[in-house]
Amino acid sequence: MPAFLRLTPAATSPETERPARERVISGDPVHTTWNVEERDGLYCGIWQSTPGKWRISYDEWEYCRILAGRSVITDDKGTEYHIGPGDSFILRPGFSGTWEVIETTRKDYVIRV
């Protein structure tokens, strides 16, 4: 395995899935993930979702940087976070609420479990 990895979709094969039905609030979001690195509780790669809204709940720590698209993340208290290209943020364990993709959104991420 090389010691230098580029975060691009060409770095690995994509995985496609949908959120669990009971979590979906609207639309039919399809998630594509290019998980470039997975080791010792660390995950790193690129994630993309088509429009839709679903419930989220984090047990892990995640850093994200939005590469394209527009989304709204809303916490359980109703605070909305509008995110778009260039925005970076952290979701800590215990965060829960909803993620709504307005325009197909692509992010790079680092997750620590």
> 99: exposed, middle or buried (C-beta count within 10 Å: 0-12, 13-18, 19+)?
buried
5 or 20: which carries more pLDDT confidence? 20
User: DSSP letter string over 26-48?
Assistant: EE---EEEEEEEEETTEEEEEEE
Q: Is 10 helix (H, G, I), strand (E, B) or coil?
A: helix
Tell me which residue has tokens 């993309």: 48
Instruction: Please report, for the domain that includes residue 52, its CATH number.
Output: 2.60.120.10
Dist. CA 101–CA 111, nearest whole Å = 20
Over 70: is that where the pLDDT of 1 sits? no
Tell me which residue has tokens 């892990």: 60
Dist. CA 41–CA 88, nearest whole Å = 21
Over 70: is that where the pLDDT of 101 sits? yes
Over 90: is that where the pLDDT of 108 sits? yes
- The total number of structural domains in the chain stands at 1
Over 70: is that where the pLDDT of 39 sits? yes
pTM, two decimal places: 0.94
Tell me whether residue 15 is in a domain.
no
Task: Give the model's pLDDT for residue 27.
Answer: 98
Tell me whether residue 18 is in a domain.
no
Structure tokens, 98: 């909803």
**Interval 56-85 mean pLDDT:** 98
Tell me whether residue 87 is in a domain.
yes
Range of the domain at 70: 30-112
Confidence label for 5 from pLDDT (cuts 50, 70 and 90): confident
